[in-house]
Amino acid sequence: MSNNKNNNNNNNNKINNRFDLDPERLSTTDVDGHRVYIYPEEVKGKWKSRRFLGYWFLVFLYLILPWIYINGKPSLKIDIFQREFTVLGSTLHGVEPILFFLLLVSGLFFIAFLTSVLGRVWCGWGCPQTVFIQTIFLKIESLIEGKSRERLSLEQQPWNLNKLFKRTLKWGIFFIVSSHIAHTFIGYFVGPKELFFMTMDSPTEHMGIFTATMILTTIFLLDFGWFREQFCIIACPYGRIQSVLMDENSKVVAYDTKRGEPRRGEVGINREAEGDCVNCYSCVKVCPTGIDIRRGTQLECIACTQCIDACDDIMDRLKKPQGLIRYTSEVELRGEAKKRNLRPFLYITLSLIFVSSFFYFLNASTHPELVFLRGVGAPFLVSDNSQETGGESFITNKFTLKIKHQGTHHFLVHLKFADPTLENQIQMQISENPIKLDVPEKKLFIFFKFNRKLLISGSKTVFINVINDEGGHLISQKEVTLVGPVD
């Protein structure tokens, strides 16, 4: 009994020490610069219910999306090596890096737009870091180690069988979950079925994929299980730049100083003069980054709204209006009218320009991908001394021409030898020339027939121009090696 009491006192001291932070010091470090682990208390409220609806939807979407097949293809697959992008059953072949660049920049400007209007809404509501920690890792941790105070108490205990058991169980489950998240992530790049069959084989047969999955598992395990809020505070590049994207009109989670101050218990303040803040520290106890929002908007705040729910609960109990901490803007807090601001308009315009360029280039792409694949079986055929050949020896090489073409712009291309003198020396027969590019992928047979004398040491390299019939301009040049017997 007295041990429990001592433990509780220690915990209270530890928490209270955290409340007395030097404003110049990070909320998660002690005076010596060592990390102070945060064990945020559970909170209930309308904002939590809304957030968790969104979180579970995102987790479900992430885990299930690659397994939904449309037209026999995963609903989302990014095949980097084949340069193929599959979305909702349609595949774009030969996707050029410029298209990915345009999409990426458009996405970045869209996030900048969201930030300038809604503050760090991405951090609190959509970032995988927050979503996985809140929905899965913290839940597992509290199921095994108990509530906030019990977890803090366990941390302070010396190693014993109970602590060893709980920590081993927790990290074991963390590993399984991280591995599943990592496998799903890799599934977006190689395909979920393909990945499933790979996992049935020995790791040595797919060493690259195995290594990538293990590295990702380790990153997720350490980040979601241990590093947590430190990533948001000191490592996340978006966290660093968000303050320059926001202004006094942006929505932030903020404490209403006018209404809350002076707080209860402040020296020299009588009861009547007190504001609504009762100095209960509930808002600090639930904060996953360990900050006191009453000190103003801080870089560490990820806009998770936990402090809003905690404070609303206190206000309900005190029969005071909710919203001492709320989503608002600095302008609103000062009681001023919203100022005209061109910044969000600029960000969304740039985002729309880049995404429109993406679709324009996608549809207007005139760069089909042509691959010459040598036919299976004998690499060449020799027609010797027949009447048809006039006593000459002729060689035939057969190829399959694989063509990939993205976009909806249909046009014709034709193939021509780069060296015009070869036109009379090599007969190029192709089942379709000019070739109509009206489907994403097609295969044609192509034969080259030529006099054996053309070969040098059994081979001859030729270059074939791929020419756009519309403008007559060169699209690409292909190198083909013709082979025959070595004399």
Give the binding site for ligand SF4 (CB under 6 A).
253, 255, 260, 277-283, 286-289, 291, 293-294, 301-307, 310-311, 314, 324-325
Distance of CA 99 to the CA centre of its chain: 17
Question: Which residue's CB is nearer to ligand SF4, number 180 or number 259?
Answer: 259
23 vs 97, which CB is nearer to ligand SF4?
Answer: 23
3-state SS assignment for residue 367: coil
User: Is the Cα torsion angle 91, 97, 98, 102 positive or negative in sign?
Assistant: positive
HEC assignment per residue over 61-101: HHHHHHHCEECCEECEEEECCCCEEEECCEEECCCCHHHHH
Give the chain's largest Cα–Cα span: 119
Nearest distance from C-beta of residue 238 to ligand SF4, angstroms = 15
The residue among 300, 311, 316 whose CA lies nearest residue 47 is 311
| Minimum separation from the CB atom of position 41 to ligand SF4 (A) | 11
Retrieve residue 115's tokens. 């930030």
CB 232 within 8 A of CB 129: yes
Find all residues with CB under 8 Å of 59, minimum gap 6, and list them.
Answer: 131, 132, 135, 136
Helix (H) or strand (E) holding 394: strand 394-404
What is the DSSP secondary structure assignment for residue 295, as one 8-state letter?
Answer: G
For residues 191 and 79, give the distance between their C-alpha atoms in angstroms, rounded to a whole number: 8
CB-wise, 59 or 280, nearer to ligand SF4?
A: 280
Report, in Å, the least distance between residue 180 CB and ligand SF4: 27
CB of 28 vs ligand SF4, minimal distance in Å: 12
Q: Please, which residue, 84 or 309, has the CB nearer to ligand SF4?
A: 309
For ligand SF4, the closer CB: 137 or 188: 137
Give kind and range of the element (H or E) at residue 167: helix 161-190
Considering the complex, what minimum distance in angstroms separates the CB of residue 40 from ligand SF4?
A: 8
Nearer to ligand SF4 among residue 218 and residue 328 (C-beta): 328
Cβ-based nearer residue to ligand SF4, 107 or 265: 265
Q: How far is CA 82 from CA 28, 257, 319, 341, in A?
A: 45, 57, 63, 44
Residue reference for tokens 């968790």: 52
Tell me the residue length of the chain.
487
Q: Nearest distance from residue 235's CB to ligand SF4, in Å? A: 16
**Judged by CB, which is closer to ligand SF4: 25, or 443?**
25
CB of 325 to ligand SF4, least distance (A): 6
CA distance 207 to 214: 10
- The nearest distance, CB 263 to ligand SF4, in angstroms, is 7
Is 191 or 290 the residue whose CB approaches ligand SF4 more closely?
Answer: 290
Comparison of 303 and 413: residue with beta carbon closer to ligand SF4: 303
Minimum CB separation from ligand SF4 for residue 124, in Å? 6
Residue with structure tokens 């590049």?
237
| Long-range CB pairs of 58-66, under 8 A, 24+ apart, other chains included | 58/126, 58/128, 58/131, 59/131, 59/132, 59/135, 59/136, 62/128, 62/184, 63/180, 63/184, 65/188, 66/184, 66/187, 66/188, 66/191, 66/192
Closest CB to ligand SF4 among residues 112, 287: 287
151 in Cβ contact with 139 (< 8 Å): no
Instruction: Enumerate residues 6+ apart whose C-beta is below 8 A from 473.
Output: 467
Q: How far is the CB of 439 from ligand SF4 (least distance, A)?
A: 52
> Min. distance of Cβ 286 from ligand SF4 in angstroms?
6
